[in-house]
Each structure stands twice: as structure tokens, then as C-alpha cells.
Amino acid sequence: MLFKNLISLVLLSVLLCPFNTTFAADNVLNIYTWAGYLSDAVISQFETETGIHVNVATYVNNEVLYAKLKANPDSGYDIIMPSSYFISRMRKQALIQKIDHSKLAHYRNINPAFLSKEHDPDNEYSIPYLWNGTGIAYNIRYQAEKSVNTWQDFWLPRYKNQLLLIDDTRECFSMALIALGYSVNDQDPDHIKAAFEKLKALMPNVKLFNMDAQRSIYLDEDITIGMGLNGDIFLASAQNSYLRFIYPKEGFVITLDSIAIPVEAKHVANAHLFIDFVLRPEIAKKIALESGFSTPNRAAKELLPLKVRTNPILYPDAETLKKGQFQTDVGEAAPLYEKYFERLKLEE
Amino acid sequence: MKHNTRFRTFSTTLVWMWLGIFVLIPSFLLFATSLLVQGDSELVRLQPTLHNYFRLLDLNYLRVFLRSGLLAGTCTLGCLILGYPFSYLLARMPDRYKGFLLLLVIIPFWTSSLIRSYAIVMILKTHGILNSFLIWVGMIKVPMQFLYTQSATLIGLIYTLLPLMILPLYASIEKLDFRLIDAARDLGARKYQIFFRVLLPLTLPGILAGCILVLLPAMTLFYIPDLLGGAKTILIGNIIQNQFLGARDWPMGATISVALTLLMGMVLFVYWRFYHQHRHEYAYEQN
Amino acid sequence: MNTHMNRISKVAYLLAIYLFLYMPILVLIVYSFNDSSFSLLWQGFTFRWYESLMQNTDLQIVALHSLLVGFLAATGATGIGTLAAVSLYRYQFFGKKLIHGLIFILIISPDIVTGISLLILFSTLKMSLGFWTLLLSHITFCIPFVTVTVYSRLTGQDKNLFEAAKDLGATEGTIFRRILIPLLWPAICAGWLLSFTLSMDDVIISFFVTGPEFDILPLKIFSMVRVGIKPEINALCSVMFGLTLVIVLVYQLTLGKNNDAI
């Protein structure tokens, strides 16, 4: 009796289950992106205009995106948004395909300062979407205003057990490399070792490594000084006026998140339609405002409210921007960075 | 004769097939991966070697194993101490309420553990609920540092894994013939004697099951320790994750997993032998 | 006097543990009314998260997906896990030790390893990622929890029961249906509940084995950590929690009179 019930239950569930026939349907677009980068409003507008049904899934960092794509290139996604140094790696490993610029009427809207970088010369494989800069965030209720100007300041004894560092190998090492005067894409093992030693010396000052939302940490004053992403601090400072953000004098990292199309994508035409759509000034402006980050789209920037587009946190002047370094793939040195970062925490 | 074995054949075949396809084959692939070497553009290079296992003999790795083991062990102990009396009291409740109360234990855990961990963060933050409360009643003047400490990590782990201890314990205690306890009491046995000589041996399977179900995830969970502990110290779960994602060294990740499995296997083996020995002793004493 | 104190301390202990378990839930429910997008401190009362939840069909669908998979996976895992526990306990068969080992491997394997190895399996079998790969994976990783729970209840059972049944002419199937299942019922239910819980909450394995058309709640939540989890998710969790509580209360009040309740 029980057995029969069990069988019928199973059969019933099987009948109710969604069969993935829409997977191969033509009017679909599967997007895989960061949370907060694509709002429902923008998606609805795209769907209404083109009649294409959009599925959006979100990932939490570049590494998992890469692992998933590598283990199964036929992932089903048509649009992905890796950061620049993953673009160069994916390009070299033939995981992404060339983008047809002739289909992108609005390509000219992009600020040339963000084009043709080392990770993708001529932007054959990626189209810039949003960028963010890593700088120093601090709270003037606890730290004297203008007391911090350079990455080197982090090493001062007065910051013992106070700092927040971003829990990312490249970010932390970039900070040390810049403080030592090297490039953030340095592949020289001696330089990397020096950066490791420098970071090791910093450890007593570190209170935590953070890989999730910094906004609430700075906003709620759990941390009063540390590394920060410009967009996060901009949004947090709107609710806590004591927060300040600076781009250190020695230089800083610019992370450029760009759109790419995986090699096995099934809806390439739809993907191009989408890319051109988000390059439109009004759309790019919406995306920038809703995500809180900076847009590389010149035309869109002009449409932003005055307070936003003149804000030095989100849109620093050209002088400052020049000191920003774009990350690219460090090739053979990548495992070395990872090993040192692991050792950093191991020898705690 | 044929009828008698039909169910048995069905049962063993089904189990074999499922585990064979979804566990045996992937495990084999994993073990094979641990013998390979990291590739540059390909994930692995087809070059068999034992090199990865030798890399494990690094003092640092042993330190991490130890640290993770200590944390997991403490967490298991905490769950056991909190969970045993709870399961016992639950099992003694009138039948009418048992199921309901048990469900009440489980329901919070159908809410995402991530969200609940964030709730713990909200409680322990510098200006969070706990500190605000303590300041309000005047116990402290300046906010205390609860978050980003070992204790916060422990609390988070115990909180997340407690039901994994309660459920098997409950299942094991519930089937006891409680008249045994009454009989012991009638014979003049004191509380601790009843506990150690009657309860404990009889519920040992449940205790072991609970400990296994808690200890193993506790060894490999990394997200909650990172969130509540500040990610300053590295645990086995972090290392494995780093190997697969950050360092893209799948063979090394596979190696560490295999090593962890073997290590835990040895621990379990010791447990098992101890349990069987104890059972024999108990049976002997009964005679 | 002594038993009175005893009774109070027992109830107090139970309540204390329940409070420990429910405190974060209460906090998250309260904070679903928090008037702030990013702050985790109280900023004021508002209903707007519930309003936006009503309109967020995406989030609702994702939650339903999770429930569906959770339900099916728990049922499947309980079936196979119970059979596994019974088989291991009662029968001698080829490769019994190996099955023991496989179950053990499943428990000890870190999620990320299980996830990646299953992904490689599906990739080799050229299965497209989505609902079915997700379901198969969830059933698989829930099985050992059911097996361990059921097995621990099996040990110590009087084997004479089964001998007697056999002498009376019962087949193995009958023994399973009419003796074992009722005997093991609490453990089977505990196993089902455990599996449902694990399935609803799984992030890492699901991440690797699901496809673009089938997103589930824990994944959605996990990916939001970078930008901060909006109170909208708190609202969703509060709603789900409230519904479950209501269902359980109703069940208890209407069917609780049944003596055979768990």
C-alpha cells in the first residue's frame, strides 16, 4: 500500500517537473553576472523591446565563474561579466569568443580611457560594463581627517588591529606592490616575495579580511579604516556622513568588469543585441545609478545627476585616474601569488 | 525461494547503482586527479605522479589540519553537551507533543543558514543588539568586541550544526525502554550511575551518529568561520576552496580531500573499534 | 519539592535551547522591517520590503524552485537511504564494505569536492545542467544522512523479530513494509527532515550543478553577499518561516490527537 503510494507520488512529481525544452529555444538569453549589476527594470525593458526572454543568474566572484566554465564549457550561458584579468586568461584559453563590433552601434559611447587595455587589445573579446577602484576608506569620527594619504600609511603602528583588507589575493598583493613601487601585474618572483614579506609585516594591523558587503561594515562602524571599493563607500557615505574615501597617491587598482560571450553560447545574436542595448546612454546611466558603481560610458556619464558625476569618489579627475592600474593576467606567476597569500594566513 | 530474494535484490541493486554512478565514479575521478599535475591552460596535465602527496607533508598543512580538527572537535563537544539533555527531555515528552517539538527544532533551519549567520552578525556587531543591550543595562560602557573572534566562529558553527546532533540522538534515545531507567532507580542507582552505566551505553549509536554528522561538516565548513571570524585564520575548507578556485590546482585540491578522507577514516575506525569493544564489555557485564 | 524544581529546570532548559535556536530568526524577522538597504543596524520601521517582495516574481519563483527540489530530493534520499541502511544491516551482499565506504566518502567529502566531481560526471555524460542534474545531486548528498540516522536506530533491534516473521512465511518485502518501516518510522522521518533541511540550504554543490534556467534561493542569496543582502530577502525568509510555522501548528492541532504521531 505504502509502496504504491510512493510510486504514484514519484510519478506525479515527474509529471509536474519542468522539462528544459526552452533551453534550445531561440528567443532566450542566459546572462550570468554579478549580483546588483543588472536590475529588473533594465531587464524588463530589454524583454519588452526585443521580445527575448532573459534568464539572469548571479555569481559571487570570478574564480567560481572560471571554475564552472572550465569544468563544463557548455554551461548554457550567453553573457558573462568577468573582471579584466580573467578576460585575458579566458581569451588565452579560448573560453570566450570574438564580439562583432559591427553590431554595436553604441560602441563609440565608451570612454577611450577604458579601451584597448593590455588584457584585451582592441577589445575584440570584451566590452567594458562597469568599473570600480580600490582605495582607502576611513571614518573621520575615529580617524583624523586627511591623516591617511598613501597605502604605506597602513603600516603605521597606530592602526594595530584596525584594518579591513579585501579578501582577494590580487587586491592585497596589488596594495603591497604599489607601496613598493612595482606594477600590480608584476611577474618577477623576487618582487612578489618582497610584497609577501611586506604583507606579513602588516598582519598585526589587520582586523579582518572581508569578502562580502563592505557597505554595512563601514556604515555600521565596525571598522574605521581599511581598503574599500569606491562604489561601496560612495553608497555607504550617503547614509553615514563621517565616511571618507581617497585614492592613494602611489596608485590604485582599477577593476574593469566587462561583458564577454562564452565560446559555446547558443544565442549569440541575442547576446549582441543585449550588449548594444546596455551601451545606450540612458540604459548605461540606469545601470550605473542602480549598481552604485562607475560607468565607463562617456555619454551615460553626462546624463548622470550633477552630484553623482562630479563626485570625486566615483569619477575622479583625469590626473587621479591616470594613476590607476588595470589588472591583467599574470600567467605563470598566478600560482605563486596564491601560495604566498595562503602562507600569509597560514602563518598567523 | 525466488520471491524471498526479490526485494533484497531490488534493494541492493538500487543502492549499488545509485552510489556506483554518483559516488564511486566521481570519487575515482577525484583520486585519479590527485595523481595528476596542474596544467596551464588545461586544468590538468596527464602526467601521473605522487608529488602532490609529498607536498602535503608541509608543516603548515599539518598545522591547518590540527587547527581545523580542534575547532571541529570543540564544536562537536559543544553540540553534544547542549544537544544530549535536549534530545533526552524531548524523547521523554508525551507522544502527543514529541513530533511537534521536534519539528520546532528543525523549522529555523529551513531558513537559509547564510541569512541566519548574518542575523548572528547583527547580534554581535560593534553597535549590534548584544552590545546595545549590555550598554543599556549598564553592564559595560564601551562596546565589546564579539565579532571577528574565535568564540564568534564557534557559536556560529554550533548554532548551524546543532540539529545534526539532535536528530540522530533523538532517534536513538526515543527507542529506549525507559523502564530500564526506572528499574535502575528502584535498585538504588544514583543519577550519574544511571547516566554512565545505563543511558550512555544504550544510546552510544546515537551519540556516534550525531558526532559523525557534526564533526565532518565542521571540518570543512569555511563560509561561516570566515563571516564570523574575520577570515584571518585559514581552515581546511578554505585551503581546499583556494586550491580549486584561486590557485586552480585541482590535483592538489583533490589530494587534500583524499588525505582528509583517509584521516577521518582512521578516526572513525578507532571510534568503531572502541565501540565494538565496549559493546562486548557491556554484554559481558550483563551476564 | 524536588520534582517541582526538577520540572521547572527541565522546562527552563528546553526553553533556553529553543531561544538559542530562534533568536536569529526573530532578529531577521524584525530586521525585515528595517528602513535601510545596507545597514545591519536598526534605522526605522518600514513595510517597503514586503511590498517589493510581492512584486518580485523572480524571487518567488526561485523560492518555489528550492521548495520543489527540497521536497523531491528529501523523498528520494529517504527512500534510497533507508534501503541502504536496511540492506547494510540485514543482508550480506557483494561489495558491502565498499558501499559502507562510499557512504562514508559522501559525508566526509567537502561540498566543493562533491560539487566539482559531480559536475565533471555530468559533463562527461553530456547532460545539460539544470533541474535534473540538481535533483540527482541533492538526492545523492542527502543519502548518507538518512542512512546514518536510520542505521543507528536499527542497531540494537531484536533480530528474533525478523527470524520469527520469516518462520511465519513473510517475504523480505513484507518484512520491510510491515515490520521495518513502522519500527524505523521516527528515524525515517528524522532523515527526511534532515535531507529537506540540507537540500534547502545547499549552496556550493548546487552552484556547480545547476543551469541557467533553474535558479534556487540559496544561490541567489549567496551571490548577493557582495553587495549586501537586502532586507527583501529577510522579508522572504520571514514569510516562508511564518507559513511553515502555521502549517506545523495546524497539523499539530488537527492531527495531534493521534497517538502514533512521531
DSSP-assigned states of every residue in A174-193: HHHHHHHT--TT---HHHHH
Q: Chain A partners of B239 at a C-beta cutoff of 8 Å?
A: 342
Local structure of C200: helix, strand or coil: helix
Q: Pick the closest to residue C74 from C62, C66, C84 (CA basis).
A: C66
The C-alpha atoms of residue B222 and residue C204 are separated, in whole angstroms, by: 11
> How much is the pTM?
0.82
- Provide the shortest C-alpha distance from residue C208 to chain B (in Å): 12
Q: Does residue A72 surpass a pLDDT of 60?
A: yes
Q: Which chains touch A (3 or more CB pairs under 8 A)?
A: B, C
**Cβ distance of C38 and A32 shorter than 8 Å:** no
With a pLDDT cut of 90, the percent of chain A lying above it is: 56
With beta carbons under 8 A apart, name residues in chain A contacting C120: 71
Chain B residues 164-193 with CB within 8 Å of chain C: 164, 167-168, 170-172, 174-175
| B201 vs C: CB within 8 A | no
B115 with C259: Cβ contact below 8 A: no
A75 in contact with C, Cβ within 8 Å: yes
Bridge partners for A97 per DSSP: A261
Per-residue confidence (pLDDT) for residue A302, from 0 to 100? 92
A99-115: pLDDT as tens digits: 999 999 999 999 998 99
Query: Considering CB atoms only, which of C102, C201, C257 is closest to B24?
Result: C102
Instruction: Read off the pLDDT of residues C157-176 as tens digits, 9 standing for 90 and up.
Output: 777 887 888 788 877 777 78
Q: Which of residues 30-59 of C touch B (CB under 8 A)?
A: 31, 40-41
By C-alpha distance, which of B267, B252, B280, B285 is closest to B56? Answer: B252
State the residue for C-alpha cell 596544467: B39
Q: How far is A210 from chain B (nearest CA, A)?
A: 7
Query: What digits encode the pLDDT tens for the residues C77-100?
Result: 999 999 999 888 888 788 888 888
Find the closest chain B residue to C174 by CA distance. Answer: B7
B269: which residues sit within 8 A by CB, 6+ positions away? none
Q: Which residues, other chains included, contact C225 with Cβ-Cβ below 8 Å and sequence gap of 6+?
A: A35, A60, A211, A212, A213, B114
Q: Are A169 and A335 in contact (CB under 8 A)?
A: no
pLDDT value at position C123? 78
Closest Cα partner for A169 from C240, C229, B70, B247? B247
pLDDT in tens, B116-168: 888 898 899 888 888 888 888 988 888 888 888 888 999 999 999 998 899 88
Hey, are the CB atoms on B148 and A221 less than 8 Å from each other?
Answer: no
Provide the pLDDT for residue B95.
Answer: 83
Q: Reply yes or no on whether the pLDDT at B103 is more than 80.
A: yes
DSSP label of A105: G
Residues 6+ apart with CB under 8 A from A114: A128, A131, A256, A296
Nearest to C123 among A72, A77, A220 (CB): A72
Residue B19 pLDDT > 50: yes
CB contact under 8 A, C130 and A20: yes
Q: What is the per-residue pLDDT across B255-277, written as a single tens digit (0 to 9) for each? A: 888 888 888 778 777 777 776 77
